[in-house]
Structure 1
Amino acid sequence: MRRPKKYESGEATQYISRRAALRRLQLSLNDFRRLCILKGVYPREPKHRRRAQKGSSEIKILYHAKDIRFLLHESIVWTLRDYKIFAKKTGRDRAIKDFRNLKRRLALFPEIKLDHIVKERYPTFIDALKDLDDCLTLLFLFSTFPSLHLIPREQSALCRRLTIEFLHYVIASKSLRKVFISIKGYYFQAEIKGQKVTWIVPHYYPFKPQSRQDVDFKVMSIFVEFYTIMLGFVNFRLFHGLNLAYPPQFPSSVLQDNSETLQDESSFVSDRIAALNFELLRTDKLMEDEEDLDIDMELLEQDGDSKRIIKMKQEAQEVARLRTLFKGLKFFINREVPREPLIILIRSFGGKVSWDASVFAGATFDESDETITHQIVDRPTLSTQYISRDYIQPQWVFDCINQRQLLPTNKYFMGEKLPPHLSPFVDSKRETYIPPEEKALHDPSLIETHEQSDDDDNDSDGQADNQEEEEIEQQLLDAQLQRAYQQETAEYKKYGGPDGVNEDEEDSVDDDEEDDEEDEDDEEQLDDKTKRSLQEKQKMKVESGKVHKVNKRQLRKAEVDEHRLQARMVKPRHRNLFRKLIREKQTKEKEEWLLRKKRRNIDADAKEAKKTAKREAKKAAAEAAAKALKMA
C-alpha cells in the first residue's frame, strides 16, 4: 500500500478554499454567496489553519469539502446558470432591438423555487420555530422600508403581510409573555408550542438613506427571500392549529395596495396598524387553546406533589391569569402615542383598543365613549378629561405585562416621573449589579427598607433646612436654664452652703453609719453558697463591645498572596485559560463598580434637586407671606 504524501490526508483534505469552490461549482461570487445563504452553508475555522491551507500561511476563507460536495447536487445551481444565459440573450435582443423575441424571453424568466430547501433545512415544525427569531426580526425591519433600488415595494409589502399574519396568531393564541422597550425597538417574546420566540419590532422613523458601504441590502434581501417562504409555511401551520382561516381576510379599507398607498409612507404604515385591530374569521366556535390548558392542569393534578410539579402548577396558573390580564378593559390611544406595540399588547391579553378615527383608519370606538377605562397619553396635560377613566402613560401597559398583574396607576399619571423600566429578559439571580428596584420586585421585604432610606434622606434634608430655627430655639432654652440655675444656687447658699452642715444633716449621717455596720454583720453570717451565687451574678453582666477596625491594606495583601498561590498551582498548559478567567472576572467587577458609581451619582443629583426645590418653595412661601403682611 502506497504511503500518502503530505497534505493528501487529514485536515488538508477536509477543507476547501472559496476560490477552489467557485471553480468546482462554476459559479460567480454573487451566485455562490446566494446559494450558500439559501442552503445554510457558512465558512469554517479549522483547528490548524496551516495544515488546512496545505502549508500556506495567508488567511483564506475555508469551507468544509463535504458542504461543497453537498451543493454540487442542488437543483438551484442549474437555475443560477440559466440566469446567466437569460441575461446574455436578453442583452443581445436589446442590442439588436428584437423586441418580439425579448418579450418572449421575459415571459420565460427562470424562477427559483425554495420550498424544497425549507423542508430540507427544517425537517420538523419545531425546528422551524427554533430558528424563527432572526426570521421575524429581519422581516419586521424590511416591512418598514420604502421602495429602494435593491428592495422593491412588493418585497416590503410581502414582509408586511406575513408579519401581520404572525401577530394575528399571537393575539388569537394569547401566547405573548414578555415585552421590553429599548433603543433598538420593542422586544417581544412569545411561547409557541413550548418554544420561546423573541423578536424586535423597530421604532418607526422616516427612512434615512444609507450608503452601500454601511449596509449591504443585496445580501440582506437574499435572506429575506428565504425567510418569506419559511414564515409562509409557519403561518399556515399555526393558523390551522387554531382553526383560523388562512390566509386571513381583512376589511376592504385596509391592506389594499394601490399606487397611492405604495407611494405614501404614512398611509402604508397606517394600514398595517389598522389591520391588527380586526378579529379573524374562525372555522369553529370553540377556543381550543383554553381546552388544552385545562387538560394540562388536570394532568398536573394527577401527578405527585414534587417540587417540580408544584412549580409547573404555579407557572400554569400565572399564565392562565396573564392571558386575561386586560379582559374587560377598554383603552383609547392618543395621537402622539405609538400605536402598533400597544395594539399588539392590549389585544393579546383580552383588552379592546381604539384611537382617533379622524386621524387614523381602523378605529372601533370614539373618545367620547363612557365605557373607556384607560386613556394612554404621552403629554403633560389635556384640555378635556373624563372622570370615569384613568389617564396613564404608555409604560404602565408594559410594566403590567412584565409583572403579570395590574399595577396601581398613580405612579403613571400624566406628568408623573415614571419608575424605572426594568428588563424581564435578564436573570434575576445573576452575580452582577442588580438595581434596588429590581431587588424589591423579587423580595417585597426590601421595598420597606428602600422607602425607609428615602424617608431618612428626606428627614436629613428637613433637618438641614430647619437648622437655623433650631439654633434660635436652643439659644432661648440656654438662657432660661442659666436663669433657673442662678436662682437655685442662691437658695442653696441661703439655707446652708457646701461649707456649713445643719443638725438634721448630722443626724442623717449618724444613721447611715449605723446602717453600714449592720450590713457588714449580715454579710459575715451568709453561707459560702450565697457568696458564690452573688459572685456569679456579678460576673453575669453586659459590657460594651469594642470596635474592630478592619485593615484594608492587610486584606488586599492577603487576596494578592492567595491569587499568586492559585496562579502557581495552575499547570502551564492551562495558564492562558486561567488568565482569561481572571480577566473576565476583573471586567465584571469593573462594570459592576461603574454601575454602582453611576447610581450613586444619579441619587446624589436627585437629592440635590429635591433640596433646591424645597428651598425655592420655602423662599417663595416666605416672599408670599411677606407680601401678605405688607398688604395687611
Structure 2
Amino acid sequence: MLRSLLSGHRHSSNFKSVHPFSGVTPREPKIKFKGTHQTYCHVKDVAFLHHEPLVEIHRPIRVHERKIKKAEAKKNHERANRLQEKTPKPKIDRIIRQRYPRFVDALGELDDCLTMVHLFAALPASAEVEGQTITWLTRHSLQQVVSDDVDITTMLNFLQLYEPLLSFVNFRLYHSINLKYPPILDPHLEALAADICALSRYFGANAISYVVNSEVSQTESEQAETKQEESESGNETAELRLAQLQHQLPSNEPRAQMHLLEEVAG
C-alpha cells in the first residue's frame, strides 16, 4: 500500500531529507491517485520514518535555515554569514554502522559515493572581475543556471551521507597499511595545489619508516634469539660437566659431591 508523503505530513521536507540516510526510497505506483507532483512511499516506510531520530534533528536545522533566509532578506549579511557558520549538522555515524555492517558493504556503494563527491568537487565556479566573467574548474563553457529537472536539495542530502562514508572507508584503508588518517601533508605542497604529490611523499615517508622499524625489530629479535641460544648452550655444558664429575666420584662420598655441586654452581 502506497501513501503520498507530501499530502500525508505537514513537515514532509524533513522526511525527504531523511530518505538518503535511512535507506527508504520513494515508489512509483501505477496509479498516482494524488497527482504526478507528489512523492509516494509505502505506509510501513512512513511509519518507520516517524521513529527515526534524524527527523527530530532536521527540525532545528530547518528553523536555523529560516533564520538565515530572514537575515538575507533584511540585507543583514554579517548575521547571515555568522548563522551560516553555526549551522548544526546531523551526526550520521550510527546510520553508517547500521547500513554498512561490513566493510564489503561500504565498498559496494562506493561507486555512487565517489561519483557524487567528485561531481560537487568539480562543479564550475565563476567570478566577475572588471566586467569580465572568469570561470574555472572546467574545460569548456558550462551553463551556470541549474535546470528545473535537477533536484539539488536531494543531491546535497546524499552528499551529507557520502562524505562521512568516504571518510570511514579511507580510515579503514589507511590503517590497513599502517598510516594515519587524515594524512599530515606538506603545507608547502598543499599551498601549490600539489595534493597528489604531497600524498605520495607522505606515503613514501611512512613506508620508509615502516621498513626501518621492521628491520630494527627483526634485528632485536635475532639478537634476543642469539643470547637465548648462548645461555642454553652454556647451561647444557655445565650440566654435562657436572654429570661427568658425578660419574667419577664413588657413591659413598656425599660430602665430596656437595662440594663439587657448589663449585659448579659458583
Please report the TM-score for the alignment, with normalisation by the length of structure 2.
0.59
Letter in 2 for 1:271: A
1:160-175 to structure 2, matched below 5 A, reads none
Alpha-carbon shift at residue 246 of structure 1 (Å): 1.9
1:224 and 2:149 are equivalent in the alignment: no
Note if contact 1:255-1:275 (Cα within 8 Å) is conserved in structure 2: yes
Q: Which residue of 142, 157, 169 maps to 2:120?
A: 142
Residues 57 and 70 (structure 1), Cα distance of their counterparts in 2 relative to 1, 3 Å cut: closer
Say which one has the larger Rg: 1
1:209 and 2:192 are equivalent in the alignment: no
Residues 122 and 100 (structure 1), Cα distance of their counterparts in 2 relative to 1, 3 Å cut: same
Distance (Å, rounded) in 1 between the aligned partners of 2:75 and 2:144: 36
Note if contact 1:44-1:62 (Cα within 8 Å) is conserved in structure 2: yes
1:284 and 2:262 are equivalent in the alignment: no
Residues 246 and 101 (structure 1), Cα distance of their counterparts in 2 relative to 1, 3 Å cut: closer
Distance (Å, rounded) in 2 between the aligned partners of 1:112 and 1:255: 29
Q: Which residue of 254, 259, 271 maps to 2:194?
A: 271
Structure 2: gaps spanning 5 or more residues: 128-136, 215-266
Aligned to 1:33: 16
Aligned to 1:249: 184
Deviations 1:22-55 (A, max 9, x none): x1xx3244x4332212322212245xx45xx6xx
Alpha-carbon shift at residue 68 of structure 1 (Å): 1.3
1:128 and 2:110 are equivalent in the alignment: no
Deviations 1:451-488 (A, max 9, x none): xxxxxxxxxxxxxxxxxxxxxxxxxxxxxxxxxxxxxx
Alpha-carbon shift at residue 20 of structure 1 (Å): 3.6
Distance (Å, rounded) in 1 between the aligned partners of 2:85 and 2:34: 50
Aligned to 1:11: none
Alpha-carbon shift at residue 145 of structure 1 (Å): 2.7
Please report the TM-score for the alignment, with normalisation by the length of structure 1.
0.27
Aligned to 1:549: none
Aligned to 2:243: none
Aligned to 1:16: 3
Structure 1 residue matching 2:189: 3-state secondary structure: coil
Residues 284 and 120 (structure 1), Cα distance of their counterparts in 2 relative to 1, 3 Å cut: same
Structure 1 residue matching 2:211: 3-state secondary structure: coil
Structure 2 residue matching 1:112: 3-state secondary structure: coil
Distance (Å, rounded) in 2 between the aligned partners of 1:204 and 1:96: 35
Residues 279 and 100 (structure 1), Cα distance of their counterparts in 2 relative to 1, 3 Å cut: closer
Deviations 1:250-282 (A, max 9, x none): 2222224xxxxxxxxxx6xx5244335424124
Note if contact 2:106-2:169 (Cα within 8 Å) is conserved in structure 1: yes
1:211-360 to structure 2, matched below 5 A, reads 211-213=145-147, 215-256=150-191, 271-275=194-198, 277-280=200-203, 281-282=206-207, 284-285=210-211
Alpha-carbon shift at residue 146 of structure 1 (Å): 4.2
Structure 2 residue matching 1:254: 3-state secondary structure: helix
Distance (Å, rounded) in 1 between the aligned partners of 2:139 and 2:100: 35
Distance (Å, rounded) in 2 between the aligned partners of 1:101 and 1:204: 33
Distance (Å, rounded) in 2 between the aligned partners of 1:222 and 1:123: 21
Note if contact 2:15-2:49 (Cα within 8 Å) is conserved in structure 1: no
Alpha-carbon shift at residue 63 of structure 1 (Å): 0.9
Alpha-carbon shift at residue 91 of structure 1 (Å): 6.2
Residues 17 and 206 (structure 1), Cα distance of their counterparts in 2 relative to 1, 3 Å cut: same
Deviations 1:106-138 (A, max 9, x none): 776432222222112112211101111111122
Structure 1 residue matching 2:41: 3-state secondary structure: strand
Letter in 2 for 1:284: Y
Note if contact 2:113-2:162 (Cα within 8 Å) is conserved in structure 1: yes
Distance (Å, rounded) in 2 between the aligned partners of 1:73 and 1:241: 37
Distance (Å, rounded) in 2 between the aligned partners of 1:133 and 1:19: 30
Distance (Å, rounded) in 2 between the aligned partners of 1:277 and 1:103: 37
Structure 2 residue matching 1:245: 3-state secondary structure: coil
Structure 1 residue matching 2:113: 3-state secondary structure: helix
Alpha-carbon shift at residue 147 of structure 1 (Å): 4.2
Letter in 2 for 1:233: F
1:68 and 2:46 are equivalent in the alignment: yes
Letter in 2 for 1:274: C
Aligned to 1:81: 59
Alpha-carbon shift at residue 80 of structure 1 (Å): 2.1
Residues 120 and 148 (structure 1), Cα distance of their counterparts in 2 relative to 1, 3 Å cut: farther
Deviations 1:261-315 (A, max 9, x none): xxxxxx6xx52443354241247329x9xxxxxxxxxxxxxxxxxxxxxxxxxxx
Q: In the comparison of the two structures, how many residue pairs are matched?
A: 199
Higher normalized helix content (fraction of residues):
2
Deviations 1:564-593 (A, max 9, x none): xxxxxxxxxxxxxxxxxxxxxxxxxxxxxx
Distance (Å, rounded) in 1 between the aligned partners of 2:145 and 2:69: 29
Aligned to 1:119: 97
Residues 97 and 124 (structure 1), Cα distance of their counterparts in 2 relative to 1, 3 Å cut: same
Distance (Å, rounded) in 2 between the aligned partners of 1:129 and 1:98: 45
Letter in 1 for 2:2: Y
Aligned to 1:397: none
Structure 1 residue matching 2:122: 3-state secondary structure: coil
Letter in 2 for 1:16: R
Deviations 1:534-555 (A, max 9, x none): xxxxxxxxxxxxxxxxxxxxxx
Letter in 2 for 1:145: L
Structure 1: gaps spanning 5 or more residues: 1-13, 150-202, 257-266, 289-632
Residues 137 and 101 (structure 1), Cα distance of their counterparts in 2 relative to 1, 3 Å cut: closer
* Greater relative contact order, per chain length (Cα 8 Å cut-off, separation 6+): 2
Structure 2 residue matching 1:63: 3-state secondary structure: strand
